[in-house]
């Protein structure tokens, strides 16, 4: 169709759902689709992503789709399009971009999901107006997106931001990554639920139950305080190193709002001696941050090329 606006397919692949949107360069969403993630079956995950893409290609009609921007968790090499490790999706050393690109017949650009969410918050959400930002996303695990001097920091290995695997306790709780004492073993949403279940003698519990019980259950208060103490310790190292202006808290645990922000700020202010405690805010874009960031990152890479 002559003069038709170009589009990209932006996808955010999480442990539970695959969210996809058809987006133009101005950020307008023309269609959306989603599917459940297929657990740890890597081939089934690829099939589910392909179905979302094909549904959006149908919606595109005659309008040209320039590329698929795919945001995934784990250890990814965005330059080669290879997912080195995404255990929850069933991928290890998997050339995801090439596989999907061959199936769909259009380029697939691979991104890290937290970097995408951080990009979206920096440009359109809670990170606007600052050049130095630490966006910390706390869900099943913990990861961060770093912005220094207005530039996103990927690092020489393109793996910067793995805050959840900074060791805060020597010989601490074993982490699936193989280390002991990783930050996310103490203050991720899943770890908070595990700690509360152990404290109450229950088979299972969630971080939401802990938040809801704050102020009325001393066990919930104790679990929350321990988690905030661990989170403050991990963030203290980052802000001391980076001189961060603003911390943006995202992910499922950020729904706690002031119950998270207030105690975290207080713990940092009581602990810090060298660094300056930055402004701490909650992310604004919610569950759409990843797919918005995937669209932004994809259009940027296309324009750079």
Please tell me which residue, 140 or 169, carries the higher pLDDT value: 169
CATH superfamily of 127-284: ATPase, nucleotide binding domain (3.30.420.40)
Is 50 exceeded by the pLDDT of residue 2?
Answer: no
Burial of 201 (0-12, 13-18, 19+ CB in 10 A): exposed
**What is the helix (H) or strand (E) element at residue 17, kind and residue range?**
strand 17-23
Per-residue pLDDT tens over the stretch 104-117: 999 999 999 999 99
Residues of the chain with CATH 3.30.420.40: 7-116+287-304, 127-284
pLDDT recorded at residue 186: 97
Give 226's contacts (C-beta < 8 A, 6+ positions apart).
Answer: 186, 195
Per-residue pLDDT tens over the stretch 209-236: 999 999 999 999 999 999 999 999 999 9
Name the packing angle between helices 218-242 and 258-271 (round to 10°): 60
Q: How far is CA 14 from CA 70, 78, 101, 206, 276, in A?
A: 11, 17, 20, 19, 34
Per-residue pLDDT band at 4 (split at 50, 70, 90): low
CATH superfamily of 7-116+287-304: ATPase, nucleotide binding domain (3.30.420.40)
State both tokens at 299: 């259009």
Per-residue pLDDT tens over the stretch 286-295: 889 999 999 9
Percent of the chain with pLDDT over 70: 98
Is 70 exceeded by the pLDDT of residue 271?
Answer: yes
């Amino acid at each position: 169709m002559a003069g038709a606006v170009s589009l990209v397919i932006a996808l955010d692949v999480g442990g539970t759902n695959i969210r996809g949107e058809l987006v133009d360069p101005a950020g307008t969403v023309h269609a959306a689709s989603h599917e459940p993630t297929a657990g740890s079956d890597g081939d089934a995950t690829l099939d589910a992503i392909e179905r979302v893409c094909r549904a959006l290609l149908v919606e595109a009609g005659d309008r040209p789709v320039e590329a698929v921007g795919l945001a995934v968790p784990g250890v990814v090499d965005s330059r080669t399009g290879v997912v080195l490790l995404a255990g929850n999706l069933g991928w290890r050393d998997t050339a995801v971009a090439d596989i999907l690109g061959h199936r769909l017949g259009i380029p697939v650009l691979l991104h890290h999901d937290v970097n995408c969410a951080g990009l979206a918050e920096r440009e359109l959400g809670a990170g606007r107006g600052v050049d130095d930002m630490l966006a910390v996303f706390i869900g099943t695990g913990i990861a961060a997106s770093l912005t220094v001097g207005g530039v996103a920091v990927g690092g020489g290995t393109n793996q910067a931001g793995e805050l959840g695997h900074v060791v805060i306790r020597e010989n601490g709780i074993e982490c699936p990554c193989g280390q002991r004492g990783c930050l996310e073993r103490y203050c991720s949403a899943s770890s908070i639920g595990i700690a509360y279940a152990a404290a109450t003698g229950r088979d299972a519990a969630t971080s939401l139950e802990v938040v809801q019980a704050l102020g009325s259950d001393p066990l919930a208060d104790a679990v929350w305080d321990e988690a905030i103490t661990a989170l403050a310790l991990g963030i203290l190292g980052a802000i001391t190193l980076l001189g961060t202006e603003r911390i943006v808290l995202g992910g499922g645990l950020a729904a706690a709002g002031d119950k998270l922000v207030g105690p975290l700020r207080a713990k940092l202010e009581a602990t810090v001696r060298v660094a300056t405690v930055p402004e701490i805010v909650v992310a604004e874009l919610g569950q759409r941050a990843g797919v918005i960031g995937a669209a932004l990152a994809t259009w940027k890479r296309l324009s750079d090329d």
